[in-house]
A and B are shown apart, each in its own frame.
Chain A
Amino acid sequence: MVTSLRPKPGTPRSYHFPDFHDQILPSGIRLVTAQVAKLPVVTVLVVVDAGSTNDPGGKEGVAALTAGTLLEGSQRFDGAELAEKFEQLGTSVESGADWDSAFIKITVLSEQLEEATELLGEAISSPVFPEREVERAKAERLAEILQLETEPRGLADEKFSEFLYTQESRYSKPDEGSTESVSALSRKDIEEFYRSRYRAGSTTVIMTGDVSTDKARALIIRAFEQWSLGSAPHRPLIAAARTTRKSIHIVDKPEASQSELRTGHVGLPRKHPDFFPTLVMNAVLGGLFGSRINLNLREAHGYTYGASSFYDWRRGPGPFVVSTAVQSEVTAPALREILLEIDRIRGERISDEELSLARDYLDGVFPIRYETTAAIASALATLVIYDLPADYYESYRRNIRGVSADAVLQAARSHLHPDELQTIVVGDARVIRDSVSDLSVGDLHVHSS
């Protein structure tokens, strides 16, 4: 017999987020370093204030395309040569743009760090954006868009953003651009975008792992000698909701065996004073396996393989969304349960059990999040991109533990808006139409896909 005595936790060992050093180099580049000598490996992450919210109107996708073609040719090497050179060093460059920044990243064995960093600096300081590679990247993006038409998850996410934000908002359109906008982009657009935004004052280099701050500094100063000085202009963001009236949109997929379901509204910007209570509130609502929404839809009803809710934290107010895929026949009952859970968490204080589960998890899991050089680099990038205080990680666990049940209730009442929910269902309209229109989820619109 296995003992029935549940073990008690031992004495916790203290943990500190890795010490990091933050400095501005003479060129204006910000350098953040964390020496973590566990394995002989280093991550170099370059973050540039050149994310998709900087796409000019009508040129949606230019930020992503610029970051995506950055390594496709420099003054000295063409794209194939660059790929080959990095990969012979055992690394390959990932580059891309999200809403808030562009990033360029390598993880490399320490013995190759010097050569890889120099190559990286040179390549991204003198990109030539060859016409042929730009056209190829555009064609690959167009292929991706085409793939979305038959990919219910991605399609639901995209349609949700489209119906959530006003058309003037950059957030209403795909971050990597639409067929229309991408087709119209030219090499010149990319060059201009690069020239205006990839500048020292808008660039942070993060190095984590088996490297000292002094060595990192010397390497980066040399590698980024040619990087343009100055800063990129600030671009204001519109993130208003398309409507404050509830509505539901069905994107018709005849014969679909499941409905991809999204319901939510415009959420909060990352640097919001209620960040911590909202994080804990969402953990209880739909952020954890043991959250109300998942236990209800998956474990009590067997409607789905999984259901979750989250705030998509961005510089501007990203979406709050509940996301799941349910068997077509139970679309309406599943949606009803989600609405009930949103009402319930706004209606009364969560139990002590629920509060402690969410707090203990978020507090306890903290050290597990930073095992790798890449994870530490990405955590430091978060500080930079969202302009969070230097002691953010040191005080994170204290802040989590300080959230009370009252603060959670307050967050739910202030930051969940059941009257403004926009609901998207990608599924078989014939099967779900009548039953969802019986729920009070607003006007129903059916779109053919």
Chain B
Amino acid sequence: MGLHGGQFTTMRIPVETFHLDNGLFVTLSEDHTAPIVAVNLWYHVGSANEKAGRTGFAHLFEHMLFQGSEHVGSNEHFELIQRAGGTLNGSTWLERTNYFETVPSNELALALWLEADRMGELLPAMTQEKLDTQRDVVKNERRWSVDNQPYGTMLEKMQELVFPPSYPFQHSLIGSMEDLSAASLDDVAQFFATFYTPDNAVLSIAGDFDSIEARRLVTEYFGPIPSGKGRPSLPSMNLPLVFGNRLREVVPDNVSLPRLFMAFRSPVFGSEEYYTASVASAVLGMRKGSRLQRTLVRERQIAADAGAFTFDLAKGTDLLVVDVTARPETSVSRLEDEVEREIDLIHREGVTEPEVQRAIALIETDLVASLQSAGERADRLSMFATYFKRPELINEQADRYRSVTTQRVNDLIFERFGEDNRASLLYVPKEGVESESILAAAVSAD
């Protein structure tokens, strides 16, 4: 692929782009090392775009996209790709939905045609029966991954805690059982017409293909699909830099060990300061040498595990989340105190140069290792094209991370880790909750 300059510093993923007349944004990245090719589509729609009373619809809709289209039978999309020796799936997030397949390179046309058929002509294949079945499947997905899973409600509880009412990221992504029951075929048709249009999508192809042939196929299959009428804009998503006060919720749940998720409002994904926040998150919680692993897990031994991550939200503000699970002998209040104490210390004294260098080194290796996969390359190209219209950002990641300095990390920590920007979501075992005073404290914090 010509990526290998012997040095990571010279690594470059080739990126070509073009637009179809209907607005479809296409990115191409050739690499002939193995006879496989990845096709990846991002639609710029997620749970943030749902109407009130239809939580979970974007995700339910993703299921419907595997139920056939004008020229493809129900579940045939899966069958044809697997028969071709390919892998495939889709996923839904707060602000986007993606569909992807990796296939032997001689099956590129099939993957493109299948994606085009469902982008262009989904509705003729939709029936009430299919919707009912997928609604049941999704309800079972909810039971499996949210309701019947320890800490499974974390995402929706966190969204509810940290975002203001009616803010687009505030409601549940998988949706409530009630709203899922209410979804109708009409909703399907409307959602499709509004959001599943070429001008609201990015198509990326990465791997073993010929650029001229790929352009021809994309134009032939996607070209006839009409543009949309423009997506309705989201309400303003500007929020202050910090929460402004202490947020806290205690969740008594069917769990064995207390676990604290502490979120900080942080710089929006893609901004220069996002990279600083991402490094700060790695300093705090990435792998064994991170600050929280070292202090809470190794030295003080009050935690069974500790980590940190960012949501990577490209609109409004992002979230940086610290995640610490107590050891069995650690009380709920001690867990909370010790984490607070550690965050206070970091807020007061900052982090050190070696800690920052450690974090950047780990991030760099992960970045290179992940780009080995055609599917990963295609997905990142789609992401950067969808959010910023700049797929070539894929080649700027390492530099952006490397230019983060300890000073910048500490400035960010000083700005964002104060008491006015902490939201604690505290899971506690249902049994024995009454014996502790935490619930009373929770009520007063509201």
User: Measuring CB to CB, which residues of chain A are less than 8 angstroms from any residue of chain B?
Assistant: 1-4, 6-15, 37-41, 79-80, 83-84, 86-92, 107-111, 136, 139-140, 142-144, 146-153, 210, 256-258, 288-290, 295, 298-305, 325-327, 356-357, 360-361, 363-368, 370-374
Question: Distance in Å from the Cβ of B405 to the closest Cβ of chain A?
Answer: 17
B106: Cβ under 8 A from any A Cβ: yes
B365: Cβ under 8 A from any A Cβ: yes
Question: Distance in Å from the Cβ of A83 to the closest Cβ of chain B?
Answer: 4
Give 8 nearest A-B pairs by CB, closest first: A364-B85, A302-B136, A7-B109, A90-B361, A13-B35, A10-B106, A90-B365, A305-B141
Residues of B contacting A149 in the complex (Cβ-Cβ under 8 angstroms) = 256
CB-defined A-B contacts under 8 Å, sample of 7: A2-B120, A7-B112, A10-B106, A142-B328, A258-B143, A303-B140, A364-B103
Decide if A136 touches B372 in the complex (CB within 8 Å).
no
B333: Cβ under 8 A from any A Cβ: no
Q: Would you list which residues of chain B between 1 and 60 have a CB under 8 Å from chain A? A: 1, 3-8, 11, 33-36
Decide if B288 touches A83 in the complex (CB within 8 Å).
yes
Question: Distance in Å from the Cβ of B25 to the closest Cβ of chain A?
Answer: 18
B368: Cβ under 8 A from any A Cβ: yes
The answer for the CA separation of A426 and B6 in the assembled complex, in Å, is 53
The answer for the CA separation of A13 and B134 in the assembled complex, in Å, is 38
Decide yes or no: A41 and B369 within 8 Å by CB, A289-B82, A305-B137, A366-B85 being known contacts.
Answer: yes
Decide if B84 touches A364 in the complex (CB within 8 Å).
yes
- Nearest-neighbor residue (CB-CB) of A86 within chain B: B289
Contact of A295 (CB < 8 Å), options: B75, B256, B358: B75
Decide if A146 touches B86 in the complex (CB within 8 Å).
no
| 0/1 string, B357-382, CB within 8 A of A gives 1 | 11001101100110111100000000
The answer for the CA separation of A288 and B85 in the assembled complex, in Å, is 12
- Nearest-neighbor residue (CB-CB) of A304 within chain B: B140
Question: Distance in Å from the Cβ of B80 to the closest Cβ of chain A?
Answer: 8
B113: Cβ under 8 A from any A Cβ: yes
Question: Distance in Å from the Cβ of A359 to the closest Cβ of chain B?
Answer: 9
Question: Distance in Å from the Cβ of A367 to the closest Cβ of chain B?
Answer: 5
Decide yes or no: A143 and B361 within 8 Å by CB, A360-B84, A364-B104 being known contacts.
Answer: no
Decide if B120 touches A365 in the complex (CB within 8 Å).
no
Q: Would you list which residues of chain B between 110 and 124 have a CB under 8 Å from chain A? A: 110, 112-113, 116-117, 119-121
| 0/1 string, B79-108, CB within 8 A of A gives 1 | 100111111000000000000001111111
B261: Cβ under 8 A from any A Cβ: no
The answer for the CA separation of A87 and B291 in the assembled complex, in Å, is 13
Contact of B357 (CB < 8 Å), options: A41, A88, A366: A88
B257: Cβ under 8 A from any A Cβ: yes
Decide yes or no: A88 and B361 within 8 Å by CB, A39-B3, A109-B368, A151-B150 being known contacts.
Answer: yes
* Dominant SS among interface residues on chain A: mixed
| 0/1 string, B241-258, CB within 8 A of A gives 1 | 000000000000011110
- Nearest-neighbor residue (CB-CB) of B111 within chain A: A7
Residues of B contacting A366 in the complex (Cβ-Cβ under 8 angstroms) = 85
- Nearest-neighbor residue (CB-CB) of B293 within chain A: A83
- Nearest-neighbor residue (CB-CB) of A427 within chain B: B148
Contact of B4 (CB < 8 Å), options: A2, A40, A84, A360: A40
Residues of A contacting B199 in the complex (Cβ-Cβ under 8 angstroms) = none
Residues of A contacting B34 in the complex (Cβ-Cβ under 8 angstroms) = 15, 367, 370-371
Q: Would you list which residues of chain B between 197 and 219 have a CB under 8 Å from chain A? A: 208, 217
The answer for the CA separation of A3 and B119 in the assembled complex, in Å, is 12
Contact of A150 (CB < 8 Å), options: B143, B150, B208, B373: B150
The answer for the CA separation of A91 and B144 in the assembled complex, in Å, is 34
Question: Distance in Å from the Cβ of B98 to the closest Cβ of chain A?
Answer: 18
Decide if B221 touches A41 in the complex (CB within 8 Å).
no
The answer for the CA separation of A152 and B141 in the assembled complex, in Å, is 14
Chain B residues with a Cβ closer than 8 Å to the other chain, count: 94
The answer for the CA separation of A425 and B221 in the assembled complex, in Å, is 48
Q: Would you list which residues of chain B between 143 and 181 have a CB under 8 Å from chain A? A: 143-145, 147-150
Decide if B358 touches A1 in the complex (CB within 8 Å).
no
Decide yes or no: A258 and B144 within 8 Å by CB, A92-B289, A92-B362 being known contacts.
Answer: yes
Find the residue from B71, B134, B328, B358 having the highest chain A CB count within 10 A.
Answer: B358
Residues of A contacting B116 in the complex (Cβ-Cβ under 8 angstroms) = 2
Decide if B136 touches A9 in the complex (CB within 8 Å).
no
Decide if A302 touches B150 in the complex (CB within 8 Å).
no
The answer for the CA separation of A363 and B102 in the assembled complex, in Å, is 14
- Nearest-neighbor residue (CB-CB) of A89 within chain B: B361
Decide if A39 touches B86 in the complex (CB within 8 Å).
no
Decide if A304 touches B137 in the complex (CB within 8 Å).
yes
Decide if B365 touches A107 in the complex (CB within 8 Å).
yes
The answer for the CA separation of A148 and B371 in the assembled complex, in Å, is 35
B294: Cβ under 8 A from any A Cβ: yes
Decide if B372 touches A372 in the complex (CB within 8 Å).
yes
Contact of A88 (CB < 8 Å), options: B82, B221, B354: B354
Contact of A140 (CB < 8 Å), options: B33, B288, B304, B361: B304
The answer for the CA separation of A110 and B140 in the assembled complex, in Å, is 45
The answer for the CA separation of A254 and B334 in the assembled complex, in Å, is 30
B287: Cβ under 8 A from any A Cβ: yes
Contact of A38 (CB < 8 Å), options: B1, B74, B301: B1
Decide if A143 touches B328 in the complex (CB within 8 Å).
yes
The answer for the CA separation of A136 and B361 in the assembled complex, in Å, is 27
Decide if B71 touches A365 in the complex (CB within 8 Å).
no
B340: Cβ under 8 A from any A Cβ: no
Question: Distance in Å from the Cβ of A428 to the closest Cβ of chain B?
Answer: 11
B224: Cβ under 8 A from any A Cβ: yes
Inter-chain pairs besides A3-B220, A92-B362, A299-B137, 20 sampled, C-beta below 8 Å = A2-B119, A2-B222, A6-B113, A12-B104, A13-B35, A13-B208, A83-B287, A83-B288, A87-B287, A88-B358, A91-B362, A91-B365, A107-B365, A110-B6, A139-B327, A146-B256, A303-B140, A327-B139, A357-B83, A360-B84
Decide if B33 touches A147 in the complex (CB within 8 Å).
no
- Nearest-neighbor residue (CB-CB) of B140 within chain A: A305
Contact of B364 (CB < 8 Å), options: A1, A2, A90, A140: A90
Decide if B70 touches A2 in the complex (CB within 8 Å).
yes
Decide if A290 touches B4 in the complex (CB within 8 Å).
no
Decide if A109 touches B364 in the complex (CB within 8 Å).
yes
Decide if A360 touches B143 in the complex (CB within 8 Å).
no
B195: Cβ under 8 A from any A Cβ: no
B78: Cβ under 8 A from any A Cβ: yes
Residues of B contacting A150 in the complex (Cβ-Cβ under 8 angstroms) = 150, 254-256, 429
Decide if B7 touches A111 in the complex (CB within 8 Å).
yes
Residues of A contacting B183 in the complex (Cβ-Cβ under 8 angstroms) = none
- Nearest-neighbor residue (CB-CB) of A14 within chain B: B35
The answer for the CA separation of A323 and B307 in the assembled complex, in Å, is 30
Decide yes or no: A143 and B304 within 8 Å by CB, A39-B3, A364-B104, A366-B85 being known contacts.
Answer: yes
B225: Cβ under 8 A from any A Cβ: yes
Question: Distance in Å from the Cβ of B216 to the closest Cβ of chain A?
Answer: 12
Find the residue from A79, A83, A90, A144 having the highest chain B CB count within 10 A.
Answer: A90
Residues of A contacting B392 in the complex (Cβ-Cβ under 8 angstroms) = none
Residues of A contacting B328 in the complex (Cβ-Cβ under 8 angstroms) = 142-143, 146
Decide yes or no: A257 and B8 within 8 Å by CB, A88-B354, A365-B87, A371-B34 being known contacts.
Answer: no
Contact of A146 (CB < 8 Å), options: B6, B141, B217, B257: B257
Decide if A326 touches B288 in the complex (CB within 8 Å).
no
Residues of B contacting A80 in the complex (Cβ-Cβ under 8 angstroms) = 289, 294, 298
Residues of B contacting A40 in the complex (Cβ-Cβ under 8 angstroms) = 4-8, 11, 368
Question: Distance in Å from the Cβ of A311 to the closest Cβ of chain B?
Answer: 19
Decide if A6 touches B372 in the complex (CB within 8 Å).
no
B132: Cβ under 8 A from any A Cβ: yes
Decide if A39 touches B11 in the complex (CB within 8 Å).
yes
Decide yes or no: A12 and B106 within 8 Å by CB, A39-B368, A80-B298, A150-B256 being known contacts.
Answer: yes
The answer for the CA separation of A3 and B354 in the assembled complex, in Å, is 58
